[in-house]
Structures are given as structure tokens and as C-alpha cells.
Amino acid sequence: MTSIARIFARRILQAIPLLFVVITINFVIIHMAPGDPTYTLLGESATPEFVQAMRARFGLDQPLYLQYFYYVSRVIQGDLGFSLLRSQSVSSLILERLPATLILIFTAMAISTSVGIFLGVTASRKPYSASDNIATAAALFGVSTPIFWLGQLFLILFAIYAGLLPTSGMRDLRAQFTGFDLVLDVARHLILPAITLAAFHLGFITRLTRASMLEVLGQDYMTTARSKGLDERAVVYKHGLRNALLPVTTYVGLSMGLLFGGAILTETVFSWPGMGTLLYDSLRLRDYPALLGIFIFISVMVIIADLVVDILYGVLDPRIRSS
Amino acid sequence: MHRQRVATTQETEALRQINSFWRQYRKNRAAVIGFFILAGICVIALAAPLITWYPPLRTNVADPFMPPTPSHPFGTDDLGRDLYSTAMYGTRTSLAIGLLAAGISALIGILVGAISGYYGGKADDLLMRTSEVFLVIPTFLLALIIVAMFGATIQNTIFAIAIVSWPRTARLLRAQFLSIKETDFVEAARVVGSRNMDIMFNEILPSAIFPVIVNASLEVATAILTEAGLSFLGVGDPNVPSWGIMLNNAQSYLRTAWWMAAFPGLMLLLTCLSLNLVGDGLNDYFNPRLKER
Amino acid sequence: MEEPLVKVTNLKKYFDIRKGLFQRKGEFVRAVDDVSFEISYGENLALVGESGCGKTTTARLILRLLKPTSGTVYYSGKDLFNLTDEEMRRIRPKIQLVSQNPHASLNPRKNIMQILSKPFKLHTDMKRREIQDNVLDLLEMVGLSPPELFADRHPHEFSGGQRQRISIARAIALKPSFIVADEPVSALDVSVRAQVLNLLKDLQAKLGITYLFITHDLAVVRSVSTRVAVMYLGKLVEIAEVSKLFKEPLHPYTEALLSATPIPNPERSRSRQRIILGGDVPSPINPPSGCPFHTRCPIAVEKCKSIEPPLTKIDDRYVACLLRARKTSF
């Protein structure tokens, strides 16, 4: 087995139990929550006929451990439940809303990573100087500000008072743009939510990059590079950055979970039609099947994203490959 | 006996340590500011009845949608409630939830991390696999689901947050235990005849606890933000003054009543900012960085 | 024949090397490979050898800090590995350790009073005052006077030599009969070593302690020990009384070790025969067949490659060499 294939296999083997744990957590919650688990699973508005129809599928009158197997097999096949309230399967509800959320998350990740690294590197070049202090302070605020309030603040300032940007939604429903105009329209709507979502991570990445760069810059091999007579900028960027970025990459890889959480809050503020608002509505409607289905879906997505990042990491970092 | 009594008492030793701690902590100016802001917030929490003159959450104490005025410094909301007193009393909610959730999470985390790190073996494997789950799945979402399914009360909120936060502390502490348990002085403790519990909590823990302490203030900030987020989404306890719920309320009236959103959020910001600054200060204290050049 | 205080019989410790879940090779590090010896009351047995020869592991086994792969350790006639944890705990005050690194052997978070009170708190029910008095006595006994100055300080405020004395104080707190000293002076400045070694000798005379002295420095052995045991790759190759060993080493490895020890007298140093061993120390994972030393031995012959020499008794010494074991003593 080549080492890359071995990393692949090992990570996948590690991920599978995690998936099972997530499904199990769901199952446990269904059965431990107050009220009849049947109605938690099928929704409060389940009619007797509906319950009857689902009896076989979920093994509702079987002992608990059998119900568990039924549940797991349903989920694995992609059946996340049916939302009676909206007359749709949960999976289809989710897939409708998924693209919007993904656009938001990836844009935010791109912004926070690029700007964060830039600010962090800049701050580290002259530690404790004015520019460093400003960057550090900005980062600190980014990390301490509640996301939803920041969104509201942006909304108030830029959308309501300045009127520069739209206040809600993903696109202008009246104007019905198509093609490139549509892209621009979405972009306009995307700006505020994406920056809001990016704020925390930007702050974190800035602080992380700065700390990492400072540590790397002070190390012995940097002094060696300098003594070779290399231009300062080459020293900083070529030698220092590559190593300093390792912990940052790790963080970015692991931040999917946080980003989903943040996306829920951001979408609610901006009425962005993604999974966040789906979740918010489901909360208000007490649509339990939808809530649980969304939880499984997002968890699985995060696990897979982590898996991909891990494997990429194993491929890229020779040190891990040889272990 | 002819020799003098050794001057070490518990009290003087503790005072000496506090003194030297403050002297070192003081060096980070931002951390000091953070400390005083935090202290101020604690004072507000304790003295809330003294500094407000309307009961929080009581509807119709004045006209609805009043902008900030001297008698209502933060304005009023859609139901005519005084936002200033709600915000001040909200301090209690946030601090209580933050401290309790972080405290419970720390207790669980320390226990699990200590046992895992010290004994190793199957128990360690199992516990670490379990904590890995919490690192990967979105914890905010899990807390949300738990509170949504079990009911939106303060107790549930505290437990939900504690349940999703303990793994981080556990891992931190376990890593410390793994390295410290191999040291010579721990080996010496075994040779002297100390029992395992004794070694874990009297020999290893005092050295191992530092990263946990640094992490603690961040945990409190995270807990407060999580509670606010949960309340914002509508799964907060409605009978308790909470900044998150205030912001949830404000969402519908952003256009007309900006003050409904501005002030509660500001309180949240100040609280979390000060906690982060204190956390930084503690970090600097335990891992002093050398100012280069 | 008097019963020895410590008797080690066929002690083996193999460490399992497993490389992750997917490769389970049955490879072992043979750290201690069938070692047997005895320590009599009141003596100072030195266990010498180069790094990695297994002496530290042997010490840890005798102190029951590790579990052996096989073999037994008898202390005062009791089989240590057959005792329950509680029973072992009760014996612990009698078997103590002074370890190598003075900077790591004392808990940095505690002050000296707390560190030295521990043995008393664990094994007696003395009141605080009484414990404090005992601790101050201990400090005086190891030469740290006036003791009140030292008691409420923390370890990092002291020098290596002082810390080592505190370590020794901890070891003698409950009047032990047996102390394992694992390289007690190797980490100290040369000027301080003699003081600490003298302290150990004085304490032996005063309190009647038996020592197992682990070291790689033969000069130290010469000044404190009564008997010497030499280890190589987890096995004992020679055991003899100190003066006899230095005068006439039997095992070729011992000869090489002795020739490498610095001698203060420059003339004698220059004129002696230096035995320089060829090759590297073989890996303890795959020790050589037959005599473990044959790969580097200057007098090895064909049969040394296949027959493992047993530890043979010659008069009052032991040696594990096919060629030298036949020599009679003089």
C-alpha cells in the first residue's frame, strides 16, 4: 500500500465511527427528549395514518435496539425523515437550501483566510508598532463581537441608513436578473452577510498568523537565511511564511463546524435563503424531523470536509506521510 | 524545641503568590483594562437593582419605541419595556450562565482529562474518541438541538453548553498529564508511596492546570456568546432578561428602532472583549513572551 | 550464609515495539535479559555500564516502578511482585530512590517543607508540629543548615547540589534500609560531586543503609562502592569486589571500560594500554547471537559467536566469558 493510499484508508476508517456516533446521538436525543419519541421522530402533527405508514419503516413497535438499526439504515440510505408541516422530505428541503449556504460559507472562508493571513503577516513584521497594534485590536474585536449583532450593525449602517446595499435575501425578487446580472445581484446581496460571517475567523486567523510568524521568525533557521544575505522580504515570505502557515491551515480545515454555526446566525439576520433560515423556521414551527435531519446533514458534511482536509494535509505535508 | 517556628503558613504563602501574580500580570496593559471592564460588569450584575429604576421585563412602563432619553438611557422596545434595566439585569443572566456552564464543563473536562492522561489504555482511547466527536461536529448546532428538543430553560441551556464544551478542556489537560506523568518528581512520589489519586491531584494537577486556567476565560466568553446565540434564535428562556432575546426582538425593528439592537449588543461586546483580554493577560503571565529587538 | 537484603533472580524486561495499528511486528527491546544478583546488608553495590545497557531499567524493576516480563525480585525474603498494592505501599519507606536529575526530581510547585512532609504524612500519623520538626532535622542531616532558611523556599531557588541533598533528605525520611541511587552525581558539577558522595557515605554509616549505586563513571565507583556489577546489552558480564575488579578485570568489556576511565596521573595515563573497541554497540532489539559482546571483543573466537556464556562463579566473583571463566584466581 502506498503511503498516500494508507493515509486515505486510515482517515476513512476513522471517519466512519464518527458518522455512526452522530446518528446515534440523534437517536438518543429522539428517545430522551420529553414526549413520545414517535412524535419527536415523525413530527408533532403526525396523523395516526402517517404513524401507521411509518411503522414498518422505523420499526416503531419493535424493541429499542431494533429501532436503532432501522434508524441507522434509513439515514445511511439518505432518508432524513419527512416534514409533514411542509409536505416535503427533509432531504429535499435541505438540498434546496444548501447551495445558498455554501456560497455564503465559502465566500466568508475566502475573505477571512486571505485578509487574515495578510493582516497577520503585516502585523508580525513590526511587532508592537502602530500597524501591529491596529491589526491586533481589529482582530480582537472580530473575535469578541457576537456575529448576529455585527450583522445587525452592518444592516443598520450600510443597508438602512446608507442605503448602499440590500437589506435581505439573496437576490432582488422584483427585478428578475439573469446571467451575469444575476451574478452581480447575488454578489451585492452577499457582501454584508459574508463579511459578517468572516469577522470572527478573520480575527482568529490574524492572531494565529501573527503569533505563528513571530515564533517562526525568531527561530534559528531564519537567522541562517538572513545571514545568507537574502533580501528581507524574500526571507519573510519564502522561508517564514510557509512554515508559519501550518497551524493556520489546520485551523481553516477545522473551522467548517464553526462556520456552519455562524452561518445559521448570519442567515437569520439577513434572511439569506440557506440552511440557516431553514433551521430558524423549523425551530419556530417545531418541525422536529427537519431539525434532526438538518443536524445529521450538517454534521456529516463537516465530517467529510474534515476528512478531505486531513487527506490533503497528509498528501502535502511530507512529515505526516512518513509517519 | 530550641528552633523557631517555621514561618510558612497557608495564608502568607497565598498572599505572596497573589502579589507576585499581579505584579507580572500588570505588565500587559490591555489585560489590565480588560480586568477592570470585567470587574465593572460584575459590579453591574451585583448592583443591578441599585442602578436601575424600572423593573426589567415589565411591559408598558413607558411608550413603546422611545429612543434613548435620560429617563430611558437605552430606549424602550415594542412592548414599552425599559431596555436599560433589561440590559443591566441581563448581565446577571450572561455571567451566571457563562460561569456555570464553563465551570461544569471545566469540572467534567478536568476529571476526564486527568483519568485519561494518567491511566491511559482502553479508557483513554474511549474517552479521546468520544471527545473527538465533539471537536468535529458543529457544537453550536448540537447545543441548539438539545435545547430545542428538551425545552428552553436556563438549566438546559447551561447543561447543553457544558456538554459540548468539556472535550476541549479534557484534551488540554490530558496532554499535560501525558507529559508530566513521566517526570522524575512524579516517579519520586510513587517511590515515596503516594497513591494514584494523590499523585493525580496533588502532584500533577497543580502543574497541569495552567493551560486550563488560561482557557477558562475564553470558555466563559464562548459560553456567553453561545447562550446569546441560542436566545437570538428563539430558544432562550423567555422569563429571564437576556441580551440574546433582546437582539432577537430587535431584529424585526431594525429600521425603526436601532437602539433596540445597539445597546444589548454593546454589552455583549464589552463582556466578551474583557474576557478575551483577561485570557490574553493570563496567557502572557503563564507563557511570558520575550520582547525581541 | 546470611540472607541477602535484595535478591534478583532471572529478571527479564522486554519492551514491545509496535508500529501503529497496521504493523504489529513482534520485536522487543531486550532491556534487561535474564539478570541475577544479590545485594547483602550494608554493602554498596555499583551497577555500571554504558547508556542503554539496562541498568536504569533494572533499578526501576527493583523499585517496582515497572512490571517485569519474567523473573523475581526479593526484598528481605519477600517477593515484591507478588505483593498487593497496599502491601507494597507499606514497604515503600524502606526502599527509596535518589534519581539523577536534581532539576526534575522535586515538584516545582511545592516548597521544601511540603515536599519533605509527604513521606511522614503518608506513612505516620504525626501531627503537623512533629512533622515540621522532623523535616528540619532531615535538612540538617543532609548538611542544609540552618534548615529554617530552606524550608519555605521552592526547588528552583536552589543549586543542583542543594537539590540533590533535598532529594536525599526525602529518601532517608523514614529511615530506609535500601536506597537505589541512580546516577546521583552525574548531573552535578565536578566540584560538588565529592560532597554529595561523602554525604551518601556518611549516611550509610550513620543509618545503616544498603545501596545499589548506578553509574557509568568508574571513578565514582572506586570511591564509594564495595562491589561492582558490570552490564552490557541487558546482561551481567562481571561481578566482583571493587579492588579486585580494578586490579584485575576478567571480562574484556570491563577491561575496555577501565582503560577508558581518566586517570589523574598523566604519566600513568600515557603509559597504560588503551583498549579501543571497534564497531558500534549493537541494538538491544536484535542482540548478537552467542556472547553479546563478541562483535566488539578483541579476544573473541569462533565459539563466542554461537554459545552464550553463563555467569560463572570463580571464587568470590562472577564472569560471563567463555575464555576467561576458566582462569583461576590468584
Listed as ranges, residues in chain A with pLDDT below 50 are: 323
Question: What one-character DSSP code corresponds to residue C329?
Answer: P
All three cell numbers of C192? 560538588
- B145:A292 CB<8 A: yes
Residue B293 has pLDDT above 50, yes or no: no
User: Which residues are bridge partners to C21 per DSSP?
Assistant: none
| pLDDT value of position C277 | 75
Contacts from C159-163 at CB under 8 Å and sequence distance 24+? Answer: C159/C192, C160/C102, C160/C103, C160/C187, C160/C188, C160/C189, C160/C192, C161/C102, C161/C188, C161/C189, C161/C192, C161/C195, C161/C196, C163/C102, C163/C103, C163/C105, C163/C106
- A264:B149 CB<8 A: no
| pLDDT value of position A240 | 66
- C118:B187 CB<8 A: no
- B192:C95 CB<8 A: no
For residues C15 and B290, give the distance between their C-alpha atoms in angstroms, rounded to a whole number: 42
Using a CB–CB cutoff of 8 Å, tell me whether C5 touches chain B: no
Asked if the bond preceding C309 is cis, omega within 30° of 0, the reply is no
Q: What is the ipTM of this complex?
A: 0.86
Please list every residue in chain B whose beta carbon sits closer than 8 Å to the beta carbon of residue C118: 189, 192, 194
Mean pLDDT of C93-122: 93
Mean of the per-residue pLDDT values of chain B: 88
| pLDDT value of position B175 | 92
Nearest CB neighbour to B8, from listed C133, C151, C170: C151
| pLDDT value of position B2 | 45
| pLDDT value of position C275 | 75
Residue B6 has pLDDT above 60, yes or no: no
Residue C18 has pLDDT above 80, yes or no: no
Q: What is the dihedral of CA C151, C156, C160, C163, to 10 degrees?
A: 30
Mean pLDDT of C228-242: 92
For residue range C263-284, list pLDDT tens digits in order: 666 666 666 667 777 777 788 7
All three cell numbers of B30? 490591555
Buried/exposed code over A210-237 (b: 16+ C-beta within 10 A; e: otherwise): bbbbbebbeeeebeebbeeeeeeeebbe
Mean pLDDT of B229-241: 91
Q: What is the dihedral of CA A254, A256, A260, A265, to 10 degrees?
A: 60
Residue B125 burial (C-beta neighbours within 10 Å; 0-12, 13-18, 19+): exposed
- C104:B185 CB<8 A: yes
The type of residue at B143 is A
| pLDDT value of position C24 | 56
| pLDDT value of position A28 | 87
Question: 3-class SS at C93?
Answer: helix
Strands C178-182 and C95-98: parallel
Using a CB–CB cutoff of 8 Å, tell me whether C149 touches chain B: no
For residues A181 and A176, give the distance between their C-alpha atoms in angstroms, rounded to a whole number: 9
| pLDDT value of position B291 | 46
| pLDDT value of position C145 | 84
| Triad C277, C283, C287: Cα angle to 5° | 90
Nearest CB neighbour to B141, from listed A143, A146, A260: A260
Strands C235-241 and C227-232: antiparallel
| pLDDT value of position B4 | 54
Please list every residue in chain B whose beta carbon sits closer than 8 Å to the beta carbon of residue A295: 141-142, 145
Residue C330 has pLDDT above 50, yes or no: no
- B233:A127 CB<8 A: no
Residue C25 burial (C-beta neighbours within 10 Å; 0-12, 13-18, 19+): exposed
Q: For chain B, what percent of residues have pLDDT higher than 70?
A: 94
Using alpha carbons only, how large is chain A's radius of gyration in Å? 24
pTM for this prediction: 0.84
State the best of B192, B195, B204, B213 to mutate against chain C, taking most chain C CBs within 10 Å. Answer: B192
Nearest CB neighbour to A299, from listed B137, B146, B255: B137
| pLDDT value of position B72 | 87
- Axis crossing angle, helix B139-150 with helix A288-316, rounded to the nearest 10: 160
| pLDDT value of position B1 | 44
Mean pLDDT of B45-57: 87
Mean pLDDT of C35-47: 92
For residue range B86-104, list pLDDT tens digits in order: 999 999 999 999 999 999 9
